Chains A and B, each alone.
Chain A
Amino acid sequence: MTNRILTKDKKVRQLNQSFVLIIIIAGLCIIATVVNPRFLRITNIINIFQQISVLGIIASGVGMLLISGDIDISVGQQVSLIGIILAMIIQKIGGIPANAPNAWLSGWAIPMAIVVSFAVGILLGIFNGLVVIKSKASSFIITLGSATVFKGLALLISGGSSYMLFNRFATLGRGRIFSIIPIAILFLLGVVIMSHILLKYFKFGRFLYALGGNKKAAFVSGINVNKVTLTSFIMVGVFDALAALILISRVGSALATTGDAFSLDALAAAVVGGVPIIGGKGNALNIFLGVVLIGLISNALVIMNINPYLRDVAIGLLIIIAVSISAISDQRK
């Protein structure tokens, strides 16, 4: 058989996807640099990556879930809810500096906040996952509902007020190694690489593609589809917890709505990064490029002194363009 001859062809197609993204990113960079040379400064570049680290972590999780054919549009509200719980723990147990907090107890505030954050992330993932599996309803509708539930919970427990960290727990979000590389970027890269490895070299990743491509076929082939789905929702929750820790640490305070905007941005990044909304295709590196593109648009608009409200218009158009391109190229086959 002529089996081995054309092993390249699929790689070429995948590269194309990355290639298009890289071209757009490069183009945007060039325009921004021409308008304002400060754009290319190393500090600004690092700045961009620091800004996208939270989005990148959330999008990696949602992107993998999307590959499996499910969707979670409650991620922003998960980040908000975890964030507010986290800030409340640090403020309430750590105490307010003016009130001379109990030193012994306040030492426990941060470790406890971290553990609780991940625990809540896992719980939210289990909640979404179980409801989707048991109800057999579309995950879009379910997580639309749970987004509202999580938002309500965040408002309920915070009473609508904001919570401060008083400069405690700032290292994760603001710290830099050798005073150059933000710690948050390392977490972002770690998550992207981990996602890549998971998708490419682990059965779990392979099963995500199978579920997204044809869930019935995956089921009949003996894949435990419910377990895969539940695991991916939990994974999303864990990533959201990590994102919330970095976000709140950077901002230094939390509101019940701090993370809400991430729901759509993360989905946008995954879709722009080439994951079709019905799943079955896509990869971690392209999702990351989608994140970079979205981060870049925000930054470039600011640095070019263009009305930042244009950001949403630009990102919206980008989604429409990305989806149309992939739909058209699918028809060409």
Chain B
Amino acid sequence: MESGNILEAINLSKSYPGVQALDSVNFLLKRGEVHAIVGQNGAGKSTFIEILAGSIQPDSGSIIIDGQDYVRLDPSQSIERSIQTVHQDNQLIEELSVAENIYLYNLPQTKLGFVNISLCIRHADDLLDRLGIETRSNIKISSLTFVEKKLISIAKAFSRKAKILILDEPTASLDIEGEKILFDIIRRNAEKGLSIIYISHDLGEIFEVCDRVTVLKDGKKIAAHDVKNVEMETIVHEMIGRSSHSLYTRVLNTARIKSDEKLEIIDYSRYKVVDHVSFSVRKGEIFGIGGLVGSGRTELARIIIGLDKKDSGKLVFCGKDITPSSPYDSIKKGIGYLTENRKDDGLVVIRPIFENISMARFARDRHIPYLELKKERTTTEEIASQLQIKTPSISQLVINLSGGNQQKVVLAKWLYANSEIILFDEPTVGVDVGSKSEIYHLIDNLVQQGKIIIIISSDYLELSSVCDRVGIMRFGKLITILEGAQINEENILKNSLGVTMEDN
């Protein structure tokens, strides 16, 4: 309590072959403060907090927790010192219930040694109530939405004594409602003296909930500020070395949109999740789909490309029926789908970067049975550097990349696949501001070439700055399509929540 410092890191360094992930980083965490760590993809944020969590050992430096010195921590020490971590990737066990996942480290037992499941559920429900999370604890993780899973991961951190809570990109692809619950939890507990380390690429959030911010770049600490006394502009500049004026703003070019050549999505339905959705996208147009998580956006994409079964629906391109029956059929017909969860079905993480990038392209060019290794190398290398994938080599395994850079690999795969129609589902989750604008330029290039792009996103800024039209889904229905001046963050938000304009 004396100094008010609960944790201090001194000269922490960590290197991997060809990468200095952390370079003599100093860091100070005060009691009860919410401390943001920001930086580009691969800046070393996750590495830093994994060292605090004990899952990575530093090469040099030391960590002081509550006055006690450590050269390195292991996970049990970290937990013992009341550090709780919510990792970037979900680490829940899909086949167990919410309650079992929360108390997995110490399941309550009956006298006979069986798991006392009812006690476990009671504890878990209490905890969830206390945190304001509505999910019930007796259901299996596998039946939860992405947002619910994230909230459960956070609840799990609260199930043990926590003095320091570490959140690694907790809001990545969280929607507005999930975000509200999270910020509530953060504010209430910080007031009670909990210290929080908060990693995010969304600087707006940082100004909303954080007290201090530390900027990392290429493994080095660049600066630390009180959030009250700093401009967003300054932080962006420190992060990416240029100002945010040069960030992305799209110039609408209505001339290139050819209204006669269009993709028609006709009457797509799947019982209980997608409810008779129809719309059309013209060649050269970017169509956005907004709405809350669980509103049927992802499900719509999945039934369009034939990944899930549908009750009805027809896809017509330039008057021709091209309804695909499977992803394999889709790619044959020139339709690509970037899935929302890179770890699940986006990446083959134990294979090198270049193999991941070329995968869909190779699946598409079926008539060539052999590989053109040289050409593959140069072209994938080119797209990797366009997307600023930070790696010593494109032969690096994807598993060794930082989260945002992994996301760029999935993007690279679909940019390289050269499909005529591309559905992007949360394309820039975890990607830093600088790279985002680069990606938007690349997507814009694609539409210039006459491709058709559909973007599903929970990032309202992304929808409003990139899309020509934005459809909003709610409870499986496409409730409205915003155009031109109607497209702004506020409108997208209101419609997603079901607040109609007449109400205002």
A interface residue numbers (CB < 8 A to B): 1-7, 9-11, 200-204, 206-207, 209-210, 213-214, 216-225, 280-281, 333
Q: A201-B370, A224-B328 are in contact. Are A3 and B385 (CB under 8 A)?
A: yes
Q: Contacting B364 at CB < 8 Å: which of A4, A9, A200, A222?
A: A222
* Chain A neighbourhood of B400, CB < 8 A: 333
Q: Is the C-beta of B348 less than 8 angstroms from some C-beta in chain A?
A: yes
| B306: min CB distance to chain A, Å | 11
Which residue from B327, B355, B370, B395 sits with its C-beta under 8 Å from A209? B355
The 10 closest A-B pairs by CB, nearest first: A222-B331, A213-B348, A222-B363, A1-B385, A6-B392, A216-B345, A6-B393, A10-B395, A221-B360, A214-B348
A207→B388 CA distance, assembly (Å): 26
Q: Which of A3, A5, A210 contacts B351 (CB 8 A)?
A: A210
Complex: how many Å from CA A207 to CA B371?
11
Partner of A3, one of B328, B373, B381: B381
B384 and A210 within 8 A (CB)? no
Contact across chains for B392 and A9 when beta carbons are under 8 A apart: yes
Q: Given the complex of chains A and B, what is the CA–CA distance between A206 and B344 in angstroms?
A: 20
- What are 6 A-B contacts with C-beta separation under 8 Å? A2-B18, A3-B393, A207-B363, A222-B328, A222-B363, A280-B350
**Is B348 a contact partner of A202 (Cβ separation < 8 A)?**
no
Residue contact B395 to A221, C-beta cutoff 8 Å: no
B residues bordering A, Cβ < 8 Å?
17-18, 307, 327-328, 330-332, 336-337, 339, 344-352, 355, 359-360, 362-364, 368-371, 373, 381, 384-385, 388-397, 399-400, 413, 417
| A213 touching B352 in the complex, CB below 8 Å, given contacts A204-B369, A221-B331 | no
**Min distance, Cβ B119 to any Cβ of chain A, angstroms:** 34
Across the interface, which residues of B come within 8 angstroms of A220, CB to CB?
A: 307, 327, 337, 339, 345-346
In Å, the complex CA distance between A57 and B307 comes to 37
Q: Please give me the residue from chain A that is nearest to B362 by CB atom.
A: A203
- Most chain B Cβ neighbours within 10 Å, of A1, A10, A210: A1
A10 partner residues in chain B, CB cutoff 8 A:
352, 393, 395-397
Inter-chain CA distance A252–B25, complex, in Å, is: 72
Q: Are B392 and A221 in contact (CB under 8 A)?
A: no
Contacts of B355 in A (CB 8 A): 206, 209-210
* In the complex, residue of chain B having the shortest beta-carbon distance to the beta carbon of A11: B395
Smallest Cβ-Cβ distance to A9: which chain B residue: B17
Q: Which residues on B sit within 8 Å (CB–CB) of A280?
A: 348, 350-351
Q: Is the CB of B348 within 8 A of A203?
A: no
- Whether B350 pairs with A210 at a CB distance below 8 angstroms is no
- Cβ–Cβ contact B359 & A3, under 8 A: no
Decide if the interface of chain B is mainly helix, strand, loop or mixed: mixed
A216 to B307, CA, bound (A): 10
CB-based contact A6/B369 at 8 Å: no
**Contact, CB under 8 Å: A209 / B351:** yes
Give complex CA distance A4, B390 in Å: 12
Do B349 and A213 have beta carbons less than 8 Å apart? yes
A2 engages B392 (CB within 8 Å): yes
Whether A7 contacts B337 by the Cβ 8 Å rule is no
Complex contact B345–A203 (CB within 8 A) = no
Contacting A221 at CB < 8 Å: which of B352, B363, B397? B363
A79: min CB distance to chain B, Å: 29
A222 adjacent to B351 (CB under 8 Å): no
Specify the chain B residue showing the minimal Cβ separation from A202. Answer: B370
The smallest C-beta distance from B243 to any residue of chain A, in angstroms, reads: 22
Closest to A213 in B: B348
Task: Tell me the minimal C-beta distance from A26 to chain B in angstroms.
Answer: 28
Report whether B349 and A210 are in contact in the complex, using a CB–CB cutoff of 8 Å: no
CA of A162 to CA of B351, assembled, Å: 48
Q: How far is B329's CA from A224's CA once the two chains are assembled, in angstroms? A: 9
Q: Which residue of B lies closest to A227 (CB)?
A: B328
A82 to B352: give the CA distance in the assembly, Å: 39
Contacts of A201 in B (CB 8 A): 370-371, 373
- Of B307, B348, B371, B397, which is within 8 A of A217 by CB? B348
**Which residue on chain A has the smallest CB distance to residue B413?**
A221
Are the CB atoms of A221 and B381 closer together than 8 Å? no
CB atoms of A3 and B345 under 8 A apart = no
Chain A residues lying within 8 Å of B17, measured Cβ to Cβ, are 6, 9
CA distance A269 to B141 in the complex (A): 39
Question: What residue of chain B has the Cβ atom nearest to residue A330's Cβ?
Answer: B350
In the complex, what residues of B have CB within 8 A of residue A2's CB? 18, 392
Chain A residue with the shortest CB-CB distance to B324? A222
Instruction: Please pick, from A3, A6, A216, A222, the residue contacting B344 in the complex, using a CB distance under 8 A.
Output: A216
Residues of B with C-beta under 8 A to A9: 17-18, 392-393, 395-396
Q: Are B362's CB and A206's CB within 8 A? A: yes
- Report chain B residues within 8 Å CB of A204: 369
Tell me the smallest distance from the CB of B316 to a CB of chain A, in Å.
21
Chain A residue nearest to B392 (CB atoms) is A6
In the complex, what distance in Å separates the CA atom of A10 from the CA atom of B307? 34
Contact residues in B for A217 (Cβ distance below 8 Å): 344-348, 359
A211 and chain B: residue at smallest CB distance: B348
CA distance A219 to B306 in the complex (A): 11
Q: How far is the CB of B16 from chain A (nearest CB, A)?
A: 9
**Residues of chain B contacted by A209 (CB below 8 angstroms):** 348, 351, 355
How distant is the Cα of A333 from the Cα of B401 in the complex, in angstroms?
Answer: 12
In the complex, residue of chain B having the shortest beta-carbon distance to the beta carbon of A222: B331
